[in-house]
Amino acid sequence: MKAVVFDKDNQLKLVTDYEKPIPKKGEALVRVTLAGICNTDYEITKGYMGYVGILGHEAVGVVEDVNVDPSPKSEISTLPQGAGKGHPLIGKRVVPEISYGCKKPDCPWCAEKLYRHCPERHTLGILAKDGVFAQYFTMPLETLFEVPENVPDTQAIFVEPLAAALEITEQHHIKPFEKVIVLGDGKLGLITALALNAQNLDVTLVGKHQNKLDIAKAQGVKTSLLQDFPIEKKYDVVVEATGSVSGFETSLALTKPRGTLVLKSTVATGKELNLAPIVIDEITVLGSRCGQFPPALRLLASGKVDFSPLISATYNIDDAIEGFEKNKEKETLKVLLKF
Ligand SMILES: [Zn+2]
Ligand SMILES: [Zn+2]
């Protein structure tokens, strides 16, 4: 099958004869229809995580086979391929959660279904698991979620970053009268602002690019250019989505005493940071990563958010490498790969 592979020589390649995966027990084989390039994929091509294999963790696909072998012996099934015929997921459009855990009975994270924190987790295209930039991938059944009929592939492809945005409301209760700032108008900031705004919260998106801010504004989000925005400590919740040190400092300067600063982007810095304001103003700093898919799919089905303006370009899998180049351009939001 065709697959976009980051190999041990640190080369990103389109391979045409990659072996089609066989689902293990309890796994499904999914035929990919659409995939999304994410900044994490780009980071991996720079050596982040030391990952080698098929890239990609954002996909929509159709379940083609399910390994229903009930025998407990080995992970590999002896049933013939196609034996899962008749399984209710076959033929269904699904999106995969990005991680699955060890599922050992004594793993406290897996017991709570917090697979993304399991120390022995596998993460699509990031850690110990081939990703989705290929014609097929396999994932355990419990990580696959059926896409509601009224949600097209081009919206469903945003479920992972949308779930990550909604994770904020799972971790922290934002009261309806509180003022929320999302700082940063890249993909992450836009999706977060749209997601929080759709929950009727008082959200202002602050960024540096008028054209990107306008995408959120068209859907009812209050927006402001950073240069026009007074930096005052008066916001209850500030979401840092710039990924830069200066963004972190600005976010801190916007958070009111006893407010909450949510870190949504991974700011890696060698620079010294002054953390004194966190203590002086008793600010709660909240790290926030991935979220649950069912609420994100419900929000997509409600039609309250529209992510189509975030799609910058769609490439055929044969031109995937070109798509990666496009993803590097500053003005680019989302690049999709079509199969
Ligand atoms: Zn991603
Ligand atoms: Zn585990």
Predicted confidence at residue 43, as pLDDT, reads 86
How far does residue 127's CA lie from ligand 2's centre (Å)?
Answer: 14
42 CA to centre of ligand 1 in angstroms: 10
**Structure confidence at residue 148 (pLDDT):** 98
- What CATH class has 161-287? alpha beta
Q: What is the architecture of the domain spanning 3-158+307-338?
A: Alpha-Beta Complex (3.90)
127 DSSP 8-state letter: B
pLDDT score of 330: 85
Measured CA to CA, the distance from residue 56 to residue 125 in angstroms comes to 5
**Which residues, 6 or more positions from 90, have their beta carbon under 8 angstroms from its beta carbon?**
63, 64, 65, 66, 84
Q: Which ligand is nearest to the CA of 132?
A: 1
Element (H, E) at 237: strand 235-240
Calculate how far, in angstroms, residue 101's C-alpha sits from the geometric centre of ligand 2. 4
Q: What is the location of CATH 3.40.50.720 in the chain? A: 161-287
Residues 6+ apart with CB under 8 A from 1: 17, 18, 19, 20, 134, 135, 136
What is the per-residue pLDDT for 173? 96
Q: What is the pTM of this model?
A: 0.91
Residues of the chain with CATH 3.90.180.10: 3-158+307-338
- Compute the distance between CA of residue 186 and CA of residue 331 in angstroms, rounded to an integer: 9
- Cα(56) to ligand 1 centroid in Å equals 8
pLDDT at 268: 66
Give 105 Cα–ligand 2 centroid separation in angstroms.
Answer: 8
Q: What is the pLDDT of residues 309-321, one digit of tens each?
A: 999 999 999 999 9
Q: Split the chain (339 residues) into runs of 10 and give each run's mean pLDDT.
A: 94 95 93 94 84 96 90 60 81 95 92 88 94 97 96 97 95 96 96 96 97 97 98 97 91 97 80 88 93 96 97 97 93 95
| Residue type present at position 4 | V
Token pair of 219 as six digits: 């859907």
Q: What distance in angstroms lies between residue 122's CA and the mean position of ligand 2's atoms?
A: 10
* Beta strand segments in 7-117, E: 12-15, 27-37, 53-54, 58-66, 93-96, 99-100
Å from CA of 161 to ligand 1 middle: 6
106 CA → ligand 2 middle, Å: 8
Classified as helix, coil or strand, 24 is coil
